[in-house]
Structure 1
Amino acid sequence: MSDQQAIGAVVHLYVDGMAFCNEAALRKAFHPDAKIIGNYEGAVEWMSRDNFIAAILAKPPAPPGTQPLMDIEITDIEGDAAFVKVTDEFAGTRFTDYLSLLKIDGRWVIVNKLYHLHR
């Protein structure tokens, strides 16, 4: 599998993990020390991976068979570092996510998520 394909698989794992409230998928996609940052409901939100997963699990999952929105607009890879811009939806809300990934021990993981909440 190429780095491009492996990164796409991590992004897919992340989007499906959010859509279907799949804790195991989210834990696999994100590094344990990852940070999730963005403006949410008028305030800057700084979350750890575990706080982010808890927030996802507090919402109802998408119905089985749903095809989550995942539009990867940019993927930029340089050695063991990568950046992905992806538009997705969670709980009926559209986001643009800027994901920083790092290849650690041969596996790509999200180390940072900066998001924009669309109105």
Structure 2
Amino acid sequence: MDEQIEKAIEKYVEGARIGAPGLMRDAFMAEATVRGSYGGKPVYWTLQEFCDLIATGGPAPDLETRVATVEVSGTAAMARLEAVNWRGTRYTDFFVLLQRDGEWRIASKVFFAHDRA
């Protein structure tokens, strides 16, 4: 995996683990969006709304993650992250990343929240 892509995903994961929306925001492009399914219902959040949820929910110290796949084509990439025990929920995250000025950032996140364990 490209070291810079790994760095962006690590910022995202660490932001979730310690409940730090500022660190998580740093992994994303400013205009990024987050969409998915939570509790069986579709959700759509701006980056600000998503970071507000991270701040409200607090840290997920028991979070375990694994990058399952990464594909890169020039300055575009996609990655799938499997996350277990984000405050009791398992997630599959699909990230689209773009490289700008030599730095990779998440342009969008689409996720599925699996049933709680």
TM-score, normalized by length of structure 2? 0.91
The residue type equivalent to 1:47 in the other structure is W
Q: Which runs of 4+ in 1 moved over 3 A?
A: none
The residue type equivalent to 1:94 in the other structure is R
Counterpart pick for 1:71 among 66, 75, 81: 66
> 2:51 aligns to what SS in structure 1?
helix
Output the aligned Cα RMSD: 1.4
Q: Is 2:31 aligned against 1:33? A: yes
Give structure 2 stretches of 5+ with no counterpart: none
In structure 2, distance between residues paired with 1:114 and 1:45:
10
Count of residue correspondences? 114
Q: Tell me by how many angstroms 1:40 deviates.
A: 1.2
Give structure 1 stretches of 5+ with no counterpart: none
Q: Tell me by how many angstroms 1:75 deviates.
A: 0.4
In structure 1, distance between residues paired with 2:15 and 2:90:
16
Counterpart pick for 1:106 among 98, 102, 113: 102
The residue type equivalent to 1:107 in the other structure is E
Counterpart pick for 1:16 among 10, 14, 17: 14
Q: Deviations over 1:49-102 (max 9, x none)?
A: 000000011113134xx5x31110100001000000010142121100000000
TM-score, normalized by length of structure 1? 0.89
